[in-house]
Amino acid sequence: MNWTYWLPLLVVLTSLVPGVIIFALPEGRVVTRTVLNLTGAVLKIALVWLMMREVYAERNPEFRMPLVQDVDLLLRADALALLFVSLSAFLWLLTTIYAIAYLERSPNRGRFFGFFSICVSATVGIGLAGNLLTFVFFYELLTLSTYPLVVHRGTEASLQAGRVYLRYTIAGGALLLTGAVWLQAAVGPVLFDGGDTLARADLDAAPLVAIFVLLVAGLGVKAALVPLHSWLPVAMVAPAPVSALLHAVAVVKAGAFGIVRVVYDVYGIRLTDAIGVAGPLAVLASITILYGSVQALRQTDLKKRLAYSTVSQVSYITLGVTILGASATIGGIVHLVHQGLMKITLFFCAGNIAETLQVHRIDELDGMGARMPWTMAAFTIAAFGMMGVPPMAGFVTKWYLGLGALEASQPWVIGVLVGSTLLNAAYFLPILHRAWFRRPVTPFPVRRGRLETHWALLMPPLVTAAAALFAGLFASAPPSPLEWARLIAERAYE
């Protein structure tokens, strides 16, 4: 047995084991906890890097353990999995650093970091899942481990948000489970194999469509597809690092990633096309894109506006995979990474502003650029990226989506992209204008210390903003997300 056999399992364990130990630690052991968290995060990145080399050489590491009957618990690293997992590993490290500073001196940190680690393990498990049962397994685990993070503050509002969150996600999990069991009963174990299992099974179109609807509805809850999105803005009561993780890495992304898996690896492109489900899903994604942007425009609370912006942006991924063409695929898949980098930057910045100056509303942001220049600079880069201004990451996404739409002769998608870009600009530019070009109504409290806020709150958004910038600037350089996405698309369409 090769040592790489254990790699996928180890990547999951590097956050699971610290999480379990953290639960057992007394609340006061801050240093031990921090060391555990950071060691796990750094180790995970190192292991992901090792896996990346294996996958690039087309030796996909694979770990399996018999679970039941003819189905294994299968963790397998392929190119798509690694795109998602490396994003999670990288952002987990930064979010951990951010959260340690953000939650300094607040109660129940042991519980928080324990669930935080479990949540990341579940996300990585979703990324590496090699069959449908394993995917469901970790998908449900993600629901369970994020609930305590959403209700972390324990106030009536957060408990209420938790109830809404559970109603949506548990119902969504049940739909996904139904679809998964049905598919399994019909064709046996469902591997993520580009649709070979289903192609061989030769089922009727009607059950295939029904199962597709069940699976996508279950995943759409987490991916915040309209009309299943209402939990997301409510869940904004969670602490900023949780929102950052939920929106950029874990929950929303897991849903979108699941849809990518269902289209490419369960059904396969040919079958998805043949049963005619791609078109309606693309329309639904377009509606979500526009609706989310319109709602974002109407919000006065900064985090709420960002939340609706997530609703909109995540559906670019769904749109990209449902246009069904190599270029659109590249655009959709690369947006998994781009949206993650940009959105986490925005949430880090919003958290900094709220934590340092207790500013939550957009009309209180006047003159923020002078008070917190670095934070607002990072915010600005990410916001321009979201709008799709060249040469930012978001532009690369929109370029490939548009190209794909034209290749697949679906020019209406261009209209959606233009409309969404205009709306993006309409809700981001006023924020930037207020921050950079207006004077504060009431002067901000005087800055203490050399930096505008705690260094550990400032560093993560700067790093992610830089990453978002470079992902766009050097999109064609070999280790960029775009090149990975191109690799994935090539392997999917060969």
Partner 1 sequence: MARRERTRPVPADAPWIVWTVVLPLLAAPVAFVLGRRGLAPFAAASSLGVAASVAALAWQVAAQGVQRHRLGGWGAPLGIELHADGLSVLMLVMTAVTGVVVSLHAHGTFGLGGHETREPSGRARFWPLWLFLWGGLNAVFLSADLFNLFVSLELVTLSAVALVALAATRVAVAAALQYLLAAMLGSLLYLLGVALVYATEGTLSLDELARGAPHASVAPPALALLTIGLALKTALFPLHFWLPPAHANAPTPVSALLSGLVVKASFYVLWRLWFQAFPGVAPFEASMLLAVLGTGAIVWGSVQALQATRLKSLVAYSTVAQLGYLFLVFPLVGGPGGLAAWQACAVFAVSHAFAKAAFFMAAGNIRLAAGHDRIADLDGIGARLPRSFFAVGLASVALMGLPPSGTFVAKWMMMRAALESGQAWLMVVMLLGGLFSAGYCFRVLARAFTPPTDTPLQPVPGSLDAAALALAVIALATGLFVAPALDLLAIGAPDVAGLGQDGPR
Q: Which stretch binds partner 1 (CB under 8 A): 183-191, 321-329, 439-447, 469-477?
A: 183-191
Q: What residues between 373 and 402 interact with partner 1 by CB under 8 A?
A: none
Is 73 near partner 1 (CB under 8 A)?
Answer: yes
Is 294 near partner 1 (CB under 8 A)?
Answer: no
Is 217 near partner 1 (CB under 8 A)?
Answer: no
The gap from C-alpha 105 to its chain's centroid, in whole angstroms, comes to: 28
Q: Which stretch binds partner 1 (CB under 8 A): 145-153, 241-249, 289-297, 413-421?
A: 145-153
Please name every residue paired with 66 in a beta bridge, in sequence order, or none if there are none. Answer: 72
Of 6, 23, 56, 470, the one binding partner 1 by CB under 8 A: 23
Cβ proximity to partner 1, 165 vs 379, nearer residue = 165
Of 1, 31, 57, 185, the one binding partner 1 by CB under 8 A: 185
Q: Answer positive or negative: Cα dihedral of 250, 252, 255, 259.
A: negative
Cβ proximity to partner 1, 70 vs 494, nearer residue = 70
Degrees to nearest 5, angle at CA 216 with 215 and 217: 95
Is 474 near partner 1 (CB under 8 A)?
Answer: no
Is 108 near partner 1 (CB under 8 A)?
Answer: yes
Is 187 near partner 1 (CB under 8 A)?
Answer: no
Of 4, 34, 50, 111, the one binding partner 1 by CB under 8 A: 111
The CB-of-218 to partner 1 minimum distance in angstroms stands at 11
**Nearest partner of 149 among 137, 135, 134, 166, judged by Cα:** 166
Of 137, 192, 212, 308, the one binding partner 1 by CB under 8 A: 137
Of 171, 217, 294, 389, the one binding partner 1 by CB under 8 A: 171
Of 3, 31, 70, 442, the one binding partner 1 by CB under 8 A: 70
Cβ proximity to partner 1, 171 vs 414, nearer residue = 171
Cβ proximity to partner 1, 61 vs 125, nearer residue = 125
Distance of alpha carbon 350 from alpha carbon 302, whole angstroms: 7
Of 19, 47, 119, 140, the one binding partner 1 by CB under 8 A: 140
The CB-of-86 to partner 1 minimum distance in angstroms stands at 24
Of 32, 39, 69, 476, the one binding partner 1 by CB under 8 A: 69
> Site for partner 1 (CB under 8 A): how many residues?
40
Of 25, 38, 144, 217, the one binding partner 1 by CB under 8 A: 144
Cβ proximity to partner 1, 134 vs 424, nearer residue = 134
The 3-state secondary structure of the chain reads CCHHHHHHHHHHHHHHHHHHHHHHCCCCCHHHHHHHHHHHHHHHHHHHHHHHHHHHCCCCCEEEEEEECCEEEEEECCHHHHHHHHHHHHHHHHHHHHHHHHCCCCCCHHHHHHHHHHHHHHHHHHHHECEHHHHHHHHHHHHHHHHHHHCCCCCHHHHHHHHHHHHHHHHHHHHHHHHHHHHHHHHCCCECCCCHHHHHHCCCHHHHHHHHHHHHHHHHHHHCCCCCCCHHHHHHHCCHHHHHHHHHCCHHHHHHHHHHHHHHHHHHHHHHHHCCCHHHHHHHHHHHHHHHHHHHHHCCEHHHHHHHHHHHHHHHHHHHHHCCCHHHHHHHHHHHHHHHHHHHHHHHHHHHHHHHHCCCEHHHCCCHHHHCHHHHHHHHHHHHHHHCCCCCHHHHHHHHHHHHHHHCCCCHHHHHHHHHHHHHHHHHHHHHHHHHHCCCCCCCCCCCCCCCCCHHHHHHHHHHHHHHHHHHHCCCCCCCHHHHHHHHHHHHHC
Residue where the block lists tokens 């939990």: 231
Cβ proximity to partner 1, 171 vs 389, nearer residue = 171
The CB-of-23 to partner 1 minimum distance in angstroms stands at 7
Is 181 near partner 1 (CB under 8 A)?
Answer: yes
Is 67 near partner 1 (CB under 8 A)?
Answer: yes
The CB-of-159 to partner 1 minimum distance in angstroms stands at 5
Is 201 near partner 1 (CB under 8 A)?
Answer: no
Helices (H), 438-479: 455-473
The CB-of-65 to partner 1 minimum distance in angstroms stands at 7
The CB-of-138 to partner 1 minimum distance in angstroms stands at 8
Q: Which stretch binds partner 1 (CB under 8 A): 167-175, 399-407, 440-448, 485-493?
A: 167-175
Q: Which residues bind partner 1 (CB under 8 A)?
A: 23, 65-70, 73, 107-108, 111, 133, 136-138, 140-141, 143-144, 148, 151-152, 154-155, 158-159, 162-163, 166, 170-171, 173-174, 177-178, 181-182, 184-186
